[in-house]
Amino acid sequence: MTDDTARPEPFRSHTSQDAVDDLGRRLRATRWPDAPDAAGWAYGTDPDYLRGLVAYWADGFDWSAQEAALNELPRFRVEVGGLGIHFVHARAVAPAAPVIPLVLSHGWPDSFWRYTKVIGLLTDPAAHSGDPADAFDVVVPDAPGFGYSDRPPGPPLDNIAIAGLWAQLMTALGYERFGAAGGDVGSHVSRFLALDHPGRVVAVHRTDAGIPVYPGDPSDLTPAEREWMRDVAAWGATEGAYAAIQRTKPQTAAAGLNDSPAALAAWIVEKLHAWSDCHGEVESAFTRDEILTNLSIYWFTETIGSSMRLYKANAAIPPAQHGRRVEVPSGFALFQGDVVRPPREWLERMTNLVRVTEPPHGGHFAAFEQPEAYVHELREFFRPYRPAFA
């Protein structure tokens, strides 16, 4: 670390009682919309489920206990690229082999919350019936405009810029080489880390390939790839309304979501339900307290608007950037309950593919839904690259 590099400072979040009380008042004063009888999830978030969740958020959920648990993690903030970035930095415990530094990039609608269950498993495998030789140093940043990181004051940053920030962050932490992993938006951030910093990223692991953008002639694609793209388009027609809003007019939605916690819950819980491997029951993938911890981070940091603006920034990424092939060794764990899972042909076309698996359980939020399975995938994938860190 050079003398002119900003030094990380320990960080603990603290929510005032006034803010907690204000949230409770807003929840209890919700003006509920009408809904068709027995609407379920057919029109969006189930109205009956939402009413119960809001009631518990107002009068049963203990945010102070959840915030205290989050503060048990080794949390820091540091200025990178002119922005204050919040991150978890947990070092390997009693490692028995070379340690790989690993930066985990989250997606939407979440934050560092996505990886809170796997940090201990990755840093201290011996304490969780694992092999001490599989220990990692783990870095989990909040993207700008998410969680406890600063909101960009001007135009939002895209995935390419965020990848550049993470490279600077790893330098600030003293890591010249490292592994990268992520899902959702974090899958693309990890991809651009590998594309733009191939000499530093030893390998990259992802849980999805995102929404495909192919700048070439579609006739060059295999039948499986073309069928996948048709499936993605069909999925977008039925499930992609949120993305259309967020990449075009995010401020319009933000006005309501930042003011009404019930609206915020409806917007996010719909995605937790639709994208997780929950078989129609969202609380089979997440406990009510886990859902509300994610929602409360959004509410108290007032980052729903800034998080959605990332979609608008990413929509402006030139098509040529999407056509670049990742030459860094790449691995994928395509969990069975995830959405728009790509065929192997696409992964081979776009990456230097060295491993692809299909875990039987877990969805889009695999690190949270199935933390042990997710950690197993990371351990197996990165093990051959440990000698480079001796």
Domain count, the chain: 1
pLDDT recorded at residue 6? 82
CA distance 9 to 75: 9
Q: Decide if 261 contacts 57 (C-beta within 8 A).
A: yes
Q: Which residues, in sequence order, are CB contacts of 156 under 8 Å at separation 6+?
A: 144, 145, 306, 309, 310, 312, 313
Give domain status of residue 347, yes or no.
yes
Radius of gyration in angstroms for the set of CA atoms belonging to the chain, rounded to a whole number: 20
Give domain status of residue 18, yes or no.
no
CA distance 274 to 337: 10
Give the containing element (helix H, strand E) for 260: none
Q: Decide if 187 contacts 114 (C-beta within 8 A).
A: no
CA distance 1 to 145: 26
The domain that holds 192 is classified in CATH as 3.40.50.1820
pLDDT recorded at residue 5? 67
pLDDT recorded at residue 4? 53
Give domain status of residue 365, yes or no.
yes
- What is the per-residue DSSP string for 91-106? PPSS-SSPPEEEEEE-
- Chain centre distance of CA 111: 6
Give domain status of residue 163, yes or no.
yes
163-172 in b/e burial notation, b at 16+ Cβ within 10 A? bbbbbbbbbb
Give domain status of residue 183, yes or no.
yes
Give domain status of residue 254, yes or no.
yes
Q: Decide if 5 contacts 78 (C-beta within 8 A).
A: no
Give domain status of residue 39, yes or no.
no
pTM equals: 0.97
Half-sphere exposure for 282 (CA within 13 Å, toward CB): 23
pLDDT recorded at residue 2? 40
Q: Which two tokens stand for residue 181?
A: 């992993």
Q: Which residues, in sequence order, are CB contacts of 21 under 8 Å at separation 6+?
A: none
Q: Which two tokens stand for residue 64?
A: 């102070």
Range of the domain at 193: 46-389
Give domain status of residue 33, yes or no.
no
> Which pLDDT tens digits describe the chain residue by residue (390 residues)?
444 568 999 999 999 999 999 999 999 999 999 999 999 999 999 999 999 999 999 999 999 999 999 999 999 999 999 999 999 999 999 898 999 999 999 999 999 999 999 999 999 999 999 999 999 999 999 999 999 999 999 999 999 999 999 999 999 999 999 999 999 999 999 999 999 999 999 999 999 999 898 988 999 999 999 999 999 999 999 999 999 999 999 999 999 999 999 999 999 999 999 999 999 999 999 999 999 999 999 999 999 999 999 999 999 999 999 999 999 999 999 999 999 999 999 999 999 999 999 999 999 999 999 999 999 999 999 999 999 999
Which one-letter amino acid corresponds to residue 34?
D
**Helix 250-257 crosses helix 304-315 at what angle (to 10 degrees)?**
170
Q: Which two tokens stand for residue 359?
A: 């875990």
Helices (H), the chain: 17-28, 47-59, 63-70, 119-123, 159-172, 185-196, 223-239, 241-248, 250-257, 261-275, 288-301, 304-315, 319-322, 344-350, 366-369, 371-382
